[in-house]
Amino acid sequence: MLPLIKSGQHLLAEKVSVKNAPLKRGEIIVFTHQGKQAIFIIKRVIGLPNETFKLSAGKILINGEVLEEPYLLENNKTTGGTLIKEGEEYTVPPDEYLVLGDNRAKSVDSREWGFAPKNMVLGRAVFVYKPLKEFKILLGH
C-alpha cells in the first residue's frame, strides 16, 4: 500500500460500519486471506459487486470508463496478473470486491488470488497510529 501505508506501521480498522454500510470504491479495507484466516491483508477497494472491469494499457476500466486513481504515484501502471489478465473483461461476483494495492508493480492482490469476499472483510482502515510520528488518517485517502 505504499506510499500511503508503509511496512511496519500499525493501523486501526473499525469493524461496525462494514456490517451496516456497503463498501465504496477507493476505501482501504482489512480482510482475511481466503485460505489463511490468521493473515490480515490491507488493500484498496477498486471494483464493486456486479461491476465489469478490464485492465488495459496500464489503466483500469470500470463499466467501460477509465478509473481515475489520484492516490497512485505518477507512472504507477496497473497490469494483469496470474488470475486477472491484461485485456480481458471480468465481472466482480456478487458479495465480492476487486481489491488492489497502491504499489501496483509489487502488490500481490486480486490479480493473483481473486476477489475478496464480503464475509472476509474485517473493517475499514481508519488511521495509522504507530509509529506515532507517522500518525495519519486513512479515511478518504
In DSSP notation, 56-93 reads ETTEEEETTEEPP-TTSPTT------SSS-TT-EEEPP
- On whether residue 127 sits in a domain, the answer given is yes
Domain span at residue 128?
Answer: 10-137
Q: Residue 39 has what pLDDT?
A: 82
- On whether residue 2 sits in a domain, the answer given is no
Q: Residue 68 has what pLDDT?
A: 96
- On whether residue 75 sits in a domain, the answer given is yes
Q: How many CB atoms lie within 10 A of CB 52?
A: 13
Q: How many CB atoms lie within 10 A of CB 82?
A: 10
Residue 89 CA to residue 54 CA, distance in Å, equals: 5
By the 10 Å C-beta count (0-12 exposed, 13-18 middle, 19+ buried), 110 is classed as buried
The band of 131, judged by pLDDT with boundaries at 50, 70 and 90, is: confident
Q: How many CB atoms lie within 10 A of CB 18?
A: 19
Q: What is the dihedral of CA 75, 79, 81, 85, to 10 degrees?
A: 170
Question: What's the whole-number average pLDDT of the chain?
Answer: 92
- On whether residue 49 sits in a domain, the answer given is yes
The band of 115, judged by pLDDT with boundaries at 50, 70 and 90, is: very high
Contacts (Cβ under 8 Å, ≥6 apart) of 106: 2
Using one digit for the tens of pLDDT, what is the confidence trace for 23-67?
999 999 999 977 666 788 999 999 999 999 999 999 999 999 999
- On whether residue 3 sits in a domain, the answer given is no
Q: Which residue has the higher pLDDT, 90 or 7?
A: 90
The band of 128, judged by pLDDT with boundaries at 50, 70 and 90, is: confident
Q: Residue 36 has what pLDDT?
A: 64
- On whether residue 4 sits in a domain, the answer given is no
Q: Residue 37 has what pLDDT?
A: 65
Number of domains in the chain: 1
Q: What is the dihedral of CA 42, 66, 75, 13, to 10 degrees?
A: -20
Contacts (Cβ under 8 Å, ≥6 apart) of 94: 49, 50
CATH code, 14: 2.10.109.10
- On whether residue 5 sits in a domain, the answer given is no
Q: At residue 98, does pLDDT exceed 90?
A: yes
Q: Residue 3 has what pLDDT?
A: 80
- On whether residue 1 sits in a domain, the answer given is no
Q: What's the whole-model pTM score?
A: 0.91
How big is the CA angle at 29 (ends 23 and 30), to the nearest 5 degrees? 135
